[in-house]
Amino acid sequence: MILPIVKYGDPVLQKEGEEVNNIDGNLAEFIQNMFETMYEAKGCGLAGPQVALSKKLFVMDVSSGKETKDRIVCINPQIVETKGAIVSEEGCLSFPGIYFEVERPEIVTVSAIDLDGKEFTFEVDGLAARCVLHETDHINGKVFIEYLNPLKRDLIKRKIKKKIKLGDWE
Ligand SMILES: [Zn+2]
């Protein structure tokens, strides 16, 4: 089932998600829906708050469904370590049509719980690292425009207001 993606302006995106303490069939089904929603929207990551579930979980797949090993569910993720820094263009399914460069660590080690309730740790770089950091921000109530300086952030906010007025933000 395709879920509606929450757009910037909805308070759920700026609220810290709750820890997940019950992994059951309902959650597994919801996560399956999150993958379907993410693939349909052509994104590489989707966090709970983006589909109005204010919980610490996200899904990601930098291969767009081509590689099973890239299909990752992270429940209650923690960034364990980061290395380096790299600037690259970034987008967000909750900010359709908005792209800009963001500096982030280059290599990330993350630990999380999977759908079987087992803890796992993995290290990623490149797009996958960017994705982990971006989605972890979401579950902590942080959106990527917070990385912009106030001037650029205001510009983007004005652009979004215009889009909302035109009915171009749903
Ligand atoms: Zn996002």
pLDDT, tens only, 119-139: 999 999 999 999 999 999 999
Q: What is the CATH number of the domain that holds 87?
A: 3.90.45.10
Total structural domains in the chain?
1
- The two structure tokens encoding residue 16: 């810290």
Task: Indicate if the pLDDT at residue 20 is higher than 90.
Answer: yes
Amino acid identity, position 144: F
Indicate whether 4 belongs to any domain. no
| Average pLDDT across the chain, whole number | 96
* Residue of 45, 137, 125, 119 whose CA lies nearest to 86: 125
* Cα of 137 from ligand 1 centre, angstroms: 8
- The model's confidence at residue 22, banded by pLDDT at 50, 70 and 90, is very high
Indicate whether 3 belongs to any domain. no
Instruction: Quote the pLDDT of residue 153.
Output: 96
Q: 3-state class of 113 per DSSP?
A: strand
Output the CA–CA distances (angstroms, integers) from residue 53 to 113, 129, 152, 153, 158, in the order listed.
17, 23, 29, 26, 27
Indicate whether 170 belongs to any domain. no
pLDDT, tens only, 30-49: 999 999 999 999 999 999 99
Is the torsion defined by CA of 28, 21, 41, 51 positive or negative? positive
pLDDT, tens only, 73-124: 999 999 999 999 999 999 999 999 999 999 999 999 999 999 999 999 999 9
User: Active-site residue numbers?
Assistant: 135
Running DSSP on this structure, what letter comes out for residue 127?
H
Instruction: Quote the pLDDT of residue 168.
Output: 87
Indicate whether 58 belongs to any domain. yes
pTM for the full predicted model:
0.96
Indicate whether 1 belongs to any domain. no
- Within 10-166, strands assigned E span 45-47, 57-60, 72-83, 86-90, 100-104, 107-113, 119-125
* Cα of 41 from ligand 1 centre, angstroms: 12
pLDDT, tens only, 44-72: 999 999 999 999 999 999 999 899 889 99
Task: Indicate if the pLDDT at residue 170 is higher than 90.
Answer: no
Indicate whether 130 belongs to any domain. yes
Output the CA–CA distances (angstroms, integers) from residue 147 to 3, 14, 17, 74, in the order listed.
27, 14, 20, 23
Tell how far CA 169 is from the center of its chain: 18
Instruction: Quote the pLDDT of residue 16.
Output: 98
pLDDT, tens only, 148-157: 999 999 999 9
* Cα of 68 from ligand 1 centre, angstroms: 22
Contact (Cβ atoms closer than 8 angstroms) between residue 102 and residue 88: yes
Domain that holds residue 45: 11-165
